[in-house]
Chain A
């Protein structure tokens, strides 16, 4: 299905097109990696809704990114339950091994590191979400193993390859 078709299908679940902006943005973000202005305009056009409404939602909700993010978005929970399980140490460690600060993206475009509010998985604190997956009861060793695994899924990370793999419109 094309993005337009997916969005139109999602819109069918609601009596009002405006309701479909959120699902449409999720679809568009999966397609494009992030949500630049041109994509927002396209969403508005597909749904026939005001552009500003789309823009409002794209900036209100934290899961939407109007700026590009790395291929792997490391979202480390630092809310109370994870904090009590020392997620701070993991943050420091990640900053060290990736050579970036919280909020930054590695120069190769592979990793973006963020802290997020409670992920709703406190039983396995400290927790980190990467893409669709949760990784729980983390410690430094597990983090290192995870980073290594993620790296291994990318064949050869030369800058050229990545530039080519950049989401369209980025």
Chain B
């Protein structure tokens, strides 16, 4: 501790704090430009200079560590004069074109000049103009070099936080300019974080440029709809029209950062293909009708199929209140537990339950402030970019050891201490090998019976073919202290999901026995997957999620809901589709869910839908699934109804409404009312706030939350009791790894699911659909980067551009699952993932119309 006096106020602070931090703590304002909280100090702008007793010169407070007994002044005439001189010099070369500058009204330089600047500039020589035109660095980034004040926040952000190393600084002295390689950012992440941190109007958003003045915007704080990281952001709209997204410097898991999807991908809400009116199928075609007509039709048809099974699938992108109400509707009105909440996999609740029970509901920032970080089964760089920024920071600046175990390489591997490449689909085997290696490394630290129990289940598992295999990873886990395990959705995608989750359970158990106090979070690729589970949009679980089979739980809900709840666990997605195919499904009710494009077997899911008696789709966009439906109900889209999301951290945050549902769309909750009323029933309560209150009453983790209590940073749901240590699961049955090419799917950086494909901006940024493979495989197949290639499975084939990934292991083929036009799922056969494929050069370079969008600079 050190005792420091600033402007006469004395405080005790932690040694190592900077003068600036202490001043801020005391509420003393010190102007800064180059300082950015999450970056190491640069001390180049010289705005924050202060007087320190005993030192001849003024010192930059952002970079000066306090010492015990230090006496600081920030309010002397010399300091006033110096700040004013710095601003005067900056302004002297600044264009002062504020009236046409996008930043006008929210410019830090403007604000600073108001507060500390000279009344009038002393300079009268001509200003520097060294670039007469703005430079279009990328589809979304445009630069006015003259306005730059060289704080270098953007460049540091790009390199140190985002890890893209796309922006840099060229020339020197007065000619210094921030730019990309050869003046282009065509191949950067397009996250726009550089724009966000620019204090002036130098780096600007191209899509937003000249569109509005900040004071004309109605701004709404909300949560990003794309991935499960759950970033806070602010939507700016003018007269209900979407204009831009900003991040909020001080709030959310993300603070001032976002990824490309969050910053530029919200314009999907303006995308084409909105369903304008309800539709029903007549003579084989969907025709628009009024809500009343749709209601009449639906009432008749529901009555007709009443004797058969019913089922519901709901999207994990919808708010908690909608998810909760949907499962309640299914259970109490349709009287079925046939519910699932993913269009891509069946939720293996039994295997998940013990993991969810010990889920760490806490800020990611805290969770990763530990010794070792083990990231399993995802490409976090592309799937959860903002989470990745935090992981990089943990590795680079907080001294965490990063350990990776995944099929797809990611940019984060470069900061990792050990990397294990999992052969496609072999997550379970790799995890089993890691458990075995860790047990071996721990040796004596484990008691004999644990070793024996493990020995029985680990056998001779072998893991991946990574450069430094599971042994190094196990050694690092064994040497280090506390461990945090972050798990991606590759585990859920895998056809061995259940076994992989069991092995993950083994690993966590072993870590607990070794005293590593493991924390666990899942890195979901859908915004509210956590919420969907918590809300009990599951066949086997009621809200909590708590097993349906548990009589006590059922009784509690029956009492709250004043309704009987079917006792048997219901059908999950796969089983529901089986019921369809077997002709046993009456009404299949899909809310926001588009399995036709997402379910990993297009042929099968199409057949199933064809065989269901009554397919109801409640959606905001006319998806391919909706096009197959008998009844289509237009629902409010993102931003058109209020609610809450629960992110990967277990943080619940308000998703706010910033405009009315368009056309005849209605709130999802209102549509549930409408559907229930068709059978003369109700699902009470039915308003969003009341439902939230009910959630806060009946779900233990949500207990005592209040709607108004969800502030700018949301609130944390409560972790459950860590279950007692149990037995280890048996290892996966040894199967033969194939030598051929294996297709793996997942999200790419620029898209997340299929909604983002409706974003015009993301579509201009993102590359054409592509097929990624290793250089070695490509050479062997005589393929080169950029070739049009055909990927063929036993089922079907697709054509896309080849992207050679140097870091890919041999045998791995990756196709992003976000491009509707590829119909990627038509290659897949259910139960067979990853999928063996062949890749060859497309015979005639097939022109894919309108898709040649690789951006090559203006």
User: Which positions in A face B, CB cutoff 8 Å?
Assistant: 37, 40, 50-53, 55-56, 59-60
Contacts and interface: CB of A to CB of B under 8 A. Distances in A.
A37 B180 CA distance: 12
A55 B182 contact: yes
A56 B165 CA distance: 12
Nearest to A60: B172
A53 B182 CA distance: 11
A52 B172 contact: no
Contacts of A51: 181
Contact of B182 (A37, A50, A60): A37
Given A52-B181, A60-B170, 9 more contacts: A37-B181, A52-B165, A52-B168, A52-B180, A55-B168, A55-B170, A56-B168, A56-B169, A60-B171
A130 to B, nearest CB: 25
A122 B182 CA distance: 37
A59 B172 CA distance: 8
A75 B170 CA distance: 23
Interface of B: 165-172, 180-182
B173 to A, nearest CB: 10
B818 to A, nearest CB: 27
B170 A56 contact: yes
Contacts of B181: 37, 40, 51-52, 55
B141 to A, nearest CB: 14
25 contacts: A37-B181, A37-B182, A40-B181, A40-B182, A50-B165, A51-B181, A52-B165, A52-B166, A52-B167, A52-B168, A52-B180, A52-B181, A53-B165, A53-B168, A55-B170, A55-B181, A55-B182, A56-B168, A56-B169, A56-B170, A59-B170, A59-B171, A60-B170, A60-B171, A60-B172
A-B pairs with the 9 shortest C-beta distances? A52-B168, A59-B170, A50-B165, A51-B181, A56-B168, A37-B182, A52-B181, A55-B181, A59-B171
A108 to B, nearest CB: 29
A120 B240 CA distance: 66
Contacts of B165: 50, 52-53
A50 B167 CA distance: 10
Nearest to A36: B182
Nearest to A59: B170
Contacts of B168: 52-53, 55-56
A37 B166 CA distance: 15
Nearest to B171: A59
Nearest to B172: A60
A92 B166 CA distance: 43
B42 to A, nearest CB: 16
A109 to B, nearest CB: 24
A56 B166 CA distance: 11
Nearest to A56: B168
B554 to A, nearest CB: 58
Interface hub of B166, B171, B181 (most chain A Cβ within 10 A): B181
B130 to A, nearest CB: 13
Contacts of A60: 170-172
Nearest to A62: B172
Contacts of A37: 181-182
Nearest to A38: B182
A117 to B, nearest CB: 12
A82 B172 CA distance: 24
Interface hub of B166, B167, B168, B171 (most chain A Cβ within 10 A): B168
B180 to A, nearest CB: 7
A7 B370 CA distance: 41
A164 B577 CA distance: 71
Nearest to A44: B181
Nearest to B170: A59
Nearest to B181: A51
Contacts of B180: 52
A51 B167 CA distance: 10
A52 B170 CA distance: 9
A27 B849 CA distance: 45
A56 B159 CA distance: 14
Contacts of A52: 165-168, 180-181
Contacts of B170: 55-56, 59-60
Contacts of B167: 52
A37 B167 CA distance: 16
B807 to A, nearest CB: 12
B138 to A, nearest CB: 13
Contacts of B169: 56
B785 to A, nearest CB: 13
Contacts of A53: 165, 168
A64 B189 CA distance: 29
A65 B429 CA distance: 54
A51 B170 CA distance: 12
A37 B171 CA distance: 15
Interface hub of B167, B169, B180, B182 (most chain A Cβ within 10 A): B182
A37 B182 CA distance: 7
A40 B168 CA distance: 14
Contacts of A50: 165
B217 to A, nearest CB: 33
B203 to A, nearest CB: 15
A52 B137 CA distance: 14
Nearest to A41: B181
A59 B169 CA distance: 9
Nearest to A58: B170
A40 B181 CA distance: 9
A170 to B, nearest CB: 16
A129 to B, nearest CB: 20
A113 to B, nearest CB: 20
B429 to A, nearest CB: 32
A23 B171 CA distance: 18
A51 B181 CA distance: 6
A52 B179 CA distance: 9
Nearest to B166: A52
A55 B167 CA distance: 10
Contacts of A40: 181-182
B258 to A, nearest CB: 22
Contacts of B171: 59-60
Contacts of A56: 168-170
Nearest to A51: B181
Contacts of A55: 168, 170, 181-182
Nearest to B175: A59
Nearest to A48: B806
A53 B180 CA distance: 10
Nearest to B165: A50
A40 B183 CA distance: 13
A131 B170 CA distance: 25
Contacts of A59: 170-171
A51 B164 CA distance: 11
Nearest to A37: B182
A164 to B, nearest CB: 27
Nearest to B169: A56
Interface hub of B165, B170, B172 (most chain A Cβ within 10 A): B170
A82 to B, nearest CB: 21
Nearest to B806: A48
A53 B166 CA distance: 9
Nearest to A54: B181
A51 B165 CA distance: 9
B134 to A, nearest CB: 20
B95 to A, nearest CB: 23
A56 B168 CA distance: 6
A117 B172 CA distance: 15
B177 to A, nearest CB: 9
A60 B170 CA distance: 6
A23 to B, nearest CB: 19
Contacts of B172: 60
A56 B179 CA distance: 9
Nearest to A52: B168
A58 B311 CA distance: 64
A55 B166 CA distance: 11
B164 to A, nearest CB: 9
Nearest to A55: B181
A40 B180 CA distance: 13
A53 B171 CA distance: 12
